[in-house]
Amino acid sequence: MNRGAGMRLLMLAAAVGLFVFYAVAAYLSYLGLLFVWNQRPDPVTTAVLVVAVALAFGYASYEFGTARILRALDAREIAESEAPELYRRLDALADSFDVESPTLLVARMEAPNVLALGGPSDGRVVVDARLFRLLTAPELETILAHELTHLENRDGLVQTLGYSLVRTVSGFLLLLLLPVTLLVAGTARAVGYARGDSYRRIQAATTRARLAVTSLAVLLLFAFTLALRAYSRRREYAADDRAVAVTGRPRALAEALRKIERASTPTGPLASLYIHGDEEGTLTRLLATHPPMDERLARLDAKADDRAVTVPVR
């Protein structure tokens, strides 16, 4: 037997071995899922337990994420003696919202911005130091009112819990598809070895086969992600509207956003938290956490024009 024929036989043996290995793994995972299914508790109890666990992990992730953001920003609390007028304005705003006056912190961010972290009773508002000279007092007040709306509605927590539920549902779906995924991926790998394909082609074929099976879970995750991002954009509009209703200054809020937009070029891992909305492309806009800035400004300018209209004297 020549060397080429020997290598070919070796590849075929490897292909058969791989197929058997993946087939056994798929069968064992099927038996495992079947065992769990036969031992299952009441479906309602199971659903409640899964949701509770997902929410618990989501809440823990939110708390850990908040602490991580504060550490990453190296935020420092602003004493009331340092900015008594700012605290006076903030306390007055808090009285118009269903929130306790939040803790004010200052940081140096990647772009001028304000972040609201926490909820109605434990809120923290982080202000980039540059905003104190970039914005006028009325403009900063409207931005703070916008952030207080997020605290009032617990927007950050709601979104984090939503993402946790989506990941949990997607994970269960991937687990249910595990036997089929193993069998299909093993078959693709075995066929590649049998044909004598290169390692790169085998890996690519295996990946395509696996994605073909798990595409349902991927599509589900993507659809829920789009829904959560749409919710996030609606909350930004709602926060703008609430800030205008409380302060009565749509023009000041619009001007504050314009100044922040001009000064902002967000990059890095915290960029999605920034007030920014110049994303291009349909998919990018659908995945954006904030609405396009021009749309927000147009809405605020329209509100300002409406307020400027006076009833003619008869």
Q: Which residues pair with 127 in a beta bridge?
A: 106, 114
- Give the Å distances, CA to CA, from 105 to 61, 86, 265: 22, 12, 22
Q: What is the pLDDT of residues 99-154, one digit of tens each?
A: 999 999 999 988 888 999 999 998 999 999 999 999 999 999 999 999 999 999 99
Catalytic residue among 147, 152, 236, 255: 147
Take residue 93 and report the two structure tokens written for it. 């705003």
CB 117 within 8 A of CB 72: no
Known catalytic residue at 147: yes
Each domain of the chain, given as residue ranges in start order, spans 1-307
CB 290 within 8 A of CB 232: yes
User: What is the reported pTM?
Assistant: 0.73
Q: What is the pLDDT of residues 217-251, one digit of tens each?
A: 788 788 888 998 999 999 999 999 999 999 999 99
CB 137 within 8 A of CB 89: yes
DSSP 14-57: HHHHHHHHHHHHHHHHHHHHHHHHHT---HHHHHHHHHHHHHHH
Q: Tell how strand 103-107 and strand 124-128 pair up.
A: parallel
